């Protein structure tokens, strides 16, 4: 690859995950111009000294804000890694390893083709989307665990059920009922007792 490419995952309050691509040069420039520093929490950089950040500092940087809006920077070192970043969902968007079903229902991820700082077109994202023939509109997806439940037979409208806030009714337990044929009885009992 002729340039160093970095992917940024922006996790917004555990309900949405946005993806951006930048070259190292672009990211350092934007960081310096906009005074938003990813390294505040893990590499000793501070908002009043953003020019300390160099390309070699970017990989692995992360930051989080009071709103639980978090950013993680990863260097993508091959075409395969770039394609994977642009097209593959990741588990763990929700805050829990075994998430409430409501969280899964509203969790999604998308490729963002505008600059997260300025709103200008994200040139590097657009370049690689075009290179690999990826349709930005087709890259939105929910947490993969959501689809696992749907594929196992859970009706999508059931995510809106007022599921008890209890570990017994989280993702794994519901998946087990779908697998062993007792899901309908579980839903009937929940609706009867509400």
DSSP letter string, 117-182: TT-SB-HHHHHHHHHTT--GGG--EE-HHHHHHHHTT--GGGGGS---SSGGGSHHHHHHHHHHT-
Residues 85-126: tens digit of each pLDDT? 998 766 556 666 678 888 888 888 888 889 888 888 889 999
By CB atoms closer than 10 A (0-12, 13-18, 19+), residue 72 is middle
User: Roughly what angle, to the nearest 10 degrees, separates helices 171-180 and 183-193?
Assistant: 120
- Count of alpha carbons within 13 angstroms of residue 175, beta-carbon side: 15
- Cα(61)–Cα(92) distance, integer angstroms: 19
Task: Evaluate whether 60 touches 93 at the Cβ level (below 8 Å).
Answer: no
pLDDT in tens, 144-169: 888 899 999 999 999 988 888 776 77
| Ramachandran assignment for 13, one of left (phi > 0), alpha (psi -120 to 50 degrees), beta (any other) | left
Average pLDDT over residues 164-175: 82
Comparison of pLDDT for 17 and 75, the residue scoring more? 75
Distance of alpha carbon 50 from alpha carbon 33, whole angstroms: 8
Overall average pLDDT of the 180-190 stretch:
94
Do the Cβ atoms of 132 and 86 come closer than 8 Å?
A: yes
Residues 128-140 pLDDT 10s: 999 999 887 777 8
More confident residue, 81 or 17: 81
pLDDT, position 46: 56
Contact by Cβ (8 Å): 73, 116: no
pTM for the whole structure: 0.77
> CB of 23 within 8 A of CB of 124?
yes
Output the pLDDT for position 39: 57
Strand duo 108-111 + 69-76: pairing: unpaired
Residue 186 has what pLDDT? 92
Stretch 61-88: mean pLDDT, rounded?
86
């Amino acid at each position: 690859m002729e340039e160093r490419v970095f992917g940024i995952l922006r996790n917004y309050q555990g309900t949405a995950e946005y993806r951006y691509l930048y070259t190292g040069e672009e990211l350092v420039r934007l960081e310096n111009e906009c005074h938003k520093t990813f390294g505040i929490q893990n590499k000793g950089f501070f908002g009043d000294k953003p020019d300390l950040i160099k390309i070699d500092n970017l990989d692995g940087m992360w930051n989080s804000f009071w709103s639980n809006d978090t950013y993680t920077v990863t260097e993508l070192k091959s075409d395969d890694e770039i394609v994977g970043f642009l097209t593959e969902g990741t588990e763990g968007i929700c805050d829990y390893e075994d998430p409430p079903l409501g969280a899964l229902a509203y969790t999604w991820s998308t490729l963002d083709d505008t600059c997260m700082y300025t709103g200008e077109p994200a040139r590097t994202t657009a370049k690689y989307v075009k290179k690999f023939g990826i349709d930005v509109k087709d890259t939105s997806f929910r947490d993969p665990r959501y689809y696992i439940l749907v594929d196992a037979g859970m009706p999508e409208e059931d995510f809106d059920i007022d599921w008890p806030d209890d570990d017994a009714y989280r993702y794994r337990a519901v998946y087990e009922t779908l697998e062993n044929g007792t899901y309908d009885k579980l839903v009937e009992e929940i609706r009867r007792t509400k």
